[in-house]
């Protein structure tokens, strides 16, 4: 089954963090994990879903409105003329909606975006085997750019000791940083804060080993 985040809407995730940015964050993850037996994974996706219904709805509505305008300008009241204009406009607009993802935002509900980000984060958590660490102390910081949402998913070992509400602080740090266009510093700060939280309950063990790669995952990266 394909990863939900494989539906690439643009190269937004590639532009969001340059290779140098990723190396900087990966170094922060490495340093953070020296203080805890927990494992921290960062994933950035352009979008959690491709929202085909939004493209259909948006292009249909605009094609109807523009079709009416064209018919009025041409002073042609024929239904066949309108249908011909609508069909041509729909084809053009649908291609436009598929390529310009920001247009789709106007036709996607907040609840739909929240649901897709939640599903995308959970799917990525298991697909990446973050749930398979020895003590179940893996954590995923999932950033979905189209929806402008961040989701933190922690494994059962962590959830037994850390309330879900605690991770809202991590979400707030990253969202604030993205708005200020300081996403690299914000993600680094969030990683450090995750280590602070985890080290309280899961300090570094003598036999600890790095179970998950520190590599920042972009889109469907494996």
d(CA 63, CA 195): 51
Q: Along the 222 residues of the chain, how does pLDDT read in single tens digits?
A: 444 443 444 478 889 999 999 999 999 999 999 999 999 999 999 999 889 888 899 899 999 999 999 999 999 989 999 999 999 999 999 988 887 777 888 899 999 999 999 999 999 999 999 999 999 999 999 999 999 999 999 999 999 999 888 999 999 999 999 999 999 999 999 999 999 999 999 998 888 888 999 999 997 533
CA 111 to chain centre: 15
The model's pTM is 0.83
pLDDT confidence of residue 6? 39
d(CA 139, CA 154): 4
First-residue to last-residue Cα distance in the chain: 14
Q: Quick check: 32 and 40 in contact, CB under 8 A?
A: yes
pLDDT confidence of residue 177? 96
d(CA 113, CA 146): 9
């Amino acid at each position: 089954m394909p990863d939900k985040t494989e539906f690439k809407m643009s190269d937004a995730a590639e532009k969001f963090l340059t290779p140098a940015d990723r190396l900087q964050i990966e170094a922060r993850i490495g340093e953070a994990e020296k203080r805890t037996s927990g494992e921290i994974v960062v994933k950035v996706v352009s979008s959690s879903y491709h929202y085909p219904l939004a493209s259909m709805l948006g292009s249909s509505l605009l094609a109807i409105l523009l079709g009416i305008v064209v018919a009025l300008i041409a002073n042609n009241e024929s239904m066949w003329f309108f249908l011909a204009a609508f069909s041509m406009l729909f084809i053009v607009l649908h291609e436009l909606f598929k390529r310009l993802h920001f247009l789709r935002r106007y036709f996607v509900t907040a609840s739909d975006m929240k649901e897709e980000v939640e599903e995308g984060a959970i799917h990525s958590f298991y697909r990446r085997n973050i749930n398979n660490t020895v003590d179940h102390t893996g954590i995923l910081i999932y950033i979905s750019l189209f929806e402008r949402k961040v989701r933190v998913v922690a494994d059962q070992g962590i959830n037994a000791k850390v309330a879900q509400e605690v991770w809202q602080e991590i979400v707030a740090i990253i969202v604030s940083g993205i708005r200020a266009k300081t996403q690299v510093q914000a993600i680094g700060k969030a990683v450090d804060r995750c280590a602070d939280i985890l080290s309280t309950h899961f300090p570094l063990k003598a036999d600890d080993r790095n179970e998950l790669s520190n590599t920042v995952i972009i889109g469907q990266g494996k």
